[in-house]
Amino acid sequence: MTTHWLDGKAVLVTGGTGSFGRRFVETVLRDYNVARLVVFSRDEAKQEEMRTKYNLNDPRIRYFIGDVRDRDRLYRALSGIDAIVHAAALKQVPALEYNPIEAVKTNIDGSENLINAAIDRGVKRVIAISTDKAVNPINLYGATKLVAEKLFTQGNIYADPQTGTKLACTRYGNVIGSRGSVIPLFLQQREKGVITVTDERMTRFWLTLDQGVKFVLHCLENMAGGEVFVPKLPSMSLKDVANVIAPDCRIENIGIRAGEKLHEVLISRNESPYAYELDDMYVIEPVIFFRKPADWPWSRYKKMESGTKYASDTNTQWMSREELLAMATSL
C-alpha cells in the first residue's frame, strides 16, 4: 500500500455513491491503510448497490444515510473524522435552472453546513470538488459552485491556524465515464450511425475518474488551507472526440445549449495573478488572504503570467487519438 497522510485516519466522502465517490472508495480501500471510511449519501438504494454489485463491503466502511442540507446529521457523521472529501452536489445544468432554490440549498447551504460541522468537530482537512463552470459562471450551477469555493477557501479564517481545520478546493473539467459525460453518449449513439454534437468548435479539458481521484488524494495530502488546486490537463475538440469514438458515423450539429460555453476556462485572467504554476498543476491562493501562513508552501513556485488564462482552446497540451482511445476503452 502507498504511504499517505490518510494512513490510520478516519475519512468521510460526501456524495459517496456518485461516480467520483465510488471510485474514491475503491481506490482508498485498495491503496491506503485507512482506519475507517464513511460513505455519506442520501440514496440508500445506491449504498446497497455499492455493498452488493461492486462488493464494497470492507469492514472499514460505514454507510451513513444523510443529506448535507441536514446539519445535525453531519455533526453525527463527523464524529471522530480526520478528513473529508466533499463530492456531494446537484450538477445537472437544466434541472438547476428550473429548480434554483434546490441548487442553493445543496451546493451553497450544504457546503456551509459541512464547513461549520467540520470546524466544530475538529476535522483536520476538508477538500471540496469544484468545476470549471465556477469560473466566470453563466449558469446557476456554476454560480453556486463559485460561492461554494469561496466558502471553503475563506472558511479557514474561522479555524485555529495552528491546530484547526484546513479547507481547500480542487477544480477540474470533464471526467470521462462519469454520469452525463459525452463519451458514453457517443458510444451509445454510434450504434445508430449518427453522433449529435452541440457545436463542432467546442473544446474541453479531459481526465479520467482515476486521474480525478488521484489528484484529489494528492491535494488532500499537500494542502495548506485556502487553495484552489487545478490540474494540468489535455484538451480536445468535441468534433475530434466524435471522429475518434465513431469514425464512420455522421455528425449532426444540434446547437449549443443554454448555459453552455464554447470553451472551458479553469483559471480566468482575473485569477492568474494569484496562481502559482507547478509541473503538473496550478495552485490559486485567495484573492483576499486574511490569514496567510508564514510558511505558505507555494510561494517558492513561479507565478502564472498576469492577465493570461488557462482555457481549453488556448491550451498547449492536446490529447492524441491514441490517448483518447485508451481512455474510452477503459470505461
Whether residue 89 has pLDDT greater than 90:
yes
pLDDT confidence of 154, banded at 50, 70, 90? Answer: very high
Residue 321 lies inside a defined structural domain of this protein:
no
Gyration radius from the chain CA atoms = 20
Considering the domain boundaries, does residue 219 fall inside one? yes
228 falls within a domain = yes
Catalytic residue among 9, 91, 133, 166: 133
Look at residue 73 in the predicted model and tell me its pLDDT.
98
- Establish whether 53 is a catalytic residue: no
Where residue 159 sits, what CATH number does that domain have?
Answer: 3.40.50.720
The verdict on pTM exceeding 0.75 is yes
Is residue 12 very low, low, confident or very high in pLDDT (cuts 50, 70, 90)? very high
Lowest pLDDT segment from 3-7, 31-35, 63-67, 95-99: 3-7
Does 320 fall in a domain? no
**Which whole number is the average pLDDT over 143-164?**
92
Look at residue 87 in the predicted model and tell me its pLDDT.
Answer: 97
Print the domain residue range for 16: 10-173+207-232+268-309
Q: Residue 116 and residue 122: Cα distance in Å, rounded? A: 10
Could you give the percent of the chain with pLDDT greater than 70? 97
The CA distances from residue 249 to 78, 86, 203, 242, 244, in Å, are 50, 39, 20, 8, 10
Does residue 192 belong to any structural domain of this protein?
A: no
235-265 pLDDT, tens digit each: 999 888 888 888 888 888 888 887 889 999 9
Under the banding of pLDDT at 50, 70 and 90, the label for residue 190 is: confident
Instruction: Give me the pLDDT at residue 179, please.
Output: 63
Q: Is 326 a member of any domain? A: no
Kindly state the cell numbers that stand for 178. 462519469
4 in any annotated domain: no
| Strands, sheet with 10-14, edge to edge from the N-terminal-most edge strand | 61-65, 36-41, 10-14, 83-86, 125-131, 166-172, 228-231, 281-284, 275-277, 302-303
Is 314 inside a domain boundary? no
Q: How many structural domains comprise the chain?
A: 1
